[in-house]
Amino acid sequence: MPYRGRVTPHHPESVVIVLFGATGDLASRMVMPAMFELRARGLMPDHWRLIGSAGDDLGEDGFAALLRGSLERSGDLPPDFDDVAAHLRYVGGFFSADEPGELPAVLGEVREELRAAGGSDPLVVFFLAVPPAAFPAITEGLGRHGLADGARVVFEKPYGTSSQSFEELDALVKRTLEEDQVFRIDHFLGKEGVQAIYTLRFANKLFGAQWDRHSVAQVQIDVPETLNVDTRASFYEATGAALDMLVTHLFQVVSQVAMDTPYDLADPESVLFERDAVLHRFRPLDVENDVVLGQFEGYRDLDGVAADSDQDTFVAARLWVDSDRWRGVPFVLRTGKMMARKAQLVTLVLRPDEGPLSAVAARPNTIEVNFSGAGGISLGVTVKAPGPDAHLSYGHAVLDLDDVPGGEPLSPYASLIDDVLRGDRSLFTTELGLRAAFRAFEPLLGQGRPAPIPYEPGGWGPEEARRLVEPFGWMLEQLERVPGED
């Protein structure tokens, strides 16, 4: 029986998805392939329509061609693509309160068609795959033109870039939508490995019993990337690693690791309650002692980047979670572009054993969760090296989630869009949670923000970041095999 989804088990009979930003990079790389991944897995309702909306005047054929290209690139092109065209509509021109264009009329027609085909009123999902600057106009437009009632609205990240801009956006969204209509995406929460943290903790005494400050000395969440930012230098120049990755993805992963036990995992509200509660326990960052920013050498030479830019392309931060469970345990987070390797790993470093072998045990026990791809879990354990002498050694027990019987991983976007269809918000961010995340992050936006330290491309970022993980060092760099990777 699924441990999630008991409260909201059903997919709707029919759905219309209105995709704002349909010609953009995010729509074509992530959102449209995810929809077709769901369709291929039988997770799209039988009756569905996709309405693309964007500034360009593409026309319906143009949109079908764009969709085909996107699905070819992602490997999700269905064999019956020619039949898909009948499910598509396209509306050109920007949608806003003052200029709704043809969207209300087209949506009305499509709803009527679906009602005739499916019998019931279709679920309407508005997916805002647009830059945050476009959120207000579209949201106001939905309200003004009576499109918001009963709809679900998906907002991309970043949902605000500071406490102030978050509050402004939140106030505007609240004027139009109820909180349970709002689905703020952070795709890291949709990753198989991040979701696996629930079951690891809540279905296994072996892990659940160790999951606190009594057993854990340090938690590392390490997301180095080899990626350059040359194709989106202007975005990066305006955003930086800390805003792009830390207050968003990495803070959410911390909340997933650190939350207390929800009273009912099948009830999204109870999961959200615990995630929000732990976000409220994040201590505001001590930027002087706990944050290291970096900038890779060569960043300032990119087109769209100022010659004296002090934007960060790397951030490492030590975060303190002042809950009873975690008081005194540092959560050390690291991410950056142009680093030595790409990985996404949570490591729990367990406190050294105090038994009779403590003096000879070389390394602490560790629990690793890889949250890239299908994900994986491993355990670093002290063992006796087989042989005549009683020497201790250290080994790794690895579980690739891909190999779990019955497993068929979903990509993060597909998983989250599936949750939107079911109305399950447990893997989305909330108003309360984001408010708390920005409160903890705010010091990094102020006067005390440290200057980024230059680092060489292809390495591990500024050496100064090593001080944050003392006395253990960055565990990823010491790991022979990341679980779930070949």
Residues with Cβ within 8 Å of 342's Cβ and at least 6 positions away in sequence, in order, are 224, 225, 226, 227, 372
DSSP code string of 418-453: HHHHHT--TTSB-HHHHHHHHHHHGGGGSTTPPPPE
Cis amide linkage into residue 158, ω under 30° from 0: yes
244: contact with ligand BG6 by CB under 6 A: yes
Q: Please identify which residue in 225, 368, 418, 424 interacts with ligand BG6, judged by CB under 6 A.
A: 225
Q: Considering beta carbons, is residue 227 or 432 the nearer one to ligand BG6?
A: 227
Q: Which residue is nearest to ligand BG6 (CB)?
A: 244
| Least Å from the CB of residue 244 to ligand BG6 | 5
CB of 139: closest distance to ligand BG6 in angstroms?
A: 21
Say how far residue 142 (Cα) sits from the centre of its chain: 26
Query: With respect to ligand BG6, which residue has the nearer C-beta, 7 or 227?
Result: 227
To ligand BG6, the closest distance from the beta carbon of 84 in angstroms equals: 25
Window 53 to 82, contacts with ligand BG6 (CB under 6 A): none
Three-state DSSP class for residue 132: helix
Measured over the CA atoms of residue 239, residue 240, residue 242 and residue 244, the dihedral's sign is positive
Distance CA 149, CA 71 (A): 31
Question: Per rule CB under 6 A, is residue 453 in the interface with ligand BG6?
Answer: no
Nearest to ligand BG6 of 244, 431 (CB atom): 244
In whole angstroms, give the CA distance from residue 157 to residue 250.
13
* d(C-alpha 258, C-alpha 281), whole Å: 10
In the complex with ligand BG6, the residue whose CB is nearer, 110 or 194, is: 194
Output 138 or 243, the one with its CB closest to ligand BG6.
243
> Both tokens of residue 464?
């100064």
Q: Are 332 and 461 in contact (CB under 8 A)?
A: no
DSSP β-bridge partners for residue 346: 221, 369
CB of 34 to ligand BG6, least distance (A): 12
Least spacing, CB of residue 187 vs ligand BG6, in Å = 6
Residues near ligand BG6 (CB under 6 A), total? 3
Name which position in 43, 117, 137, 227 contacts ligand BG6 (CB under 6 A).
227
Instruction: Name the residue nearer to ligand BG6 (CB basis): 181 or 313.
Output: 313
- How many Cβ atoms from other residues are within 10 Å of residue 58's Cβ? 18
Q: Closest CB to ligand BG6 among 225 and 424?
A: 225
Residue 400 in 3-state DSSP? strand
Interface residue list for ligand BG6 (CB under 6 A)? 225, 227, 244
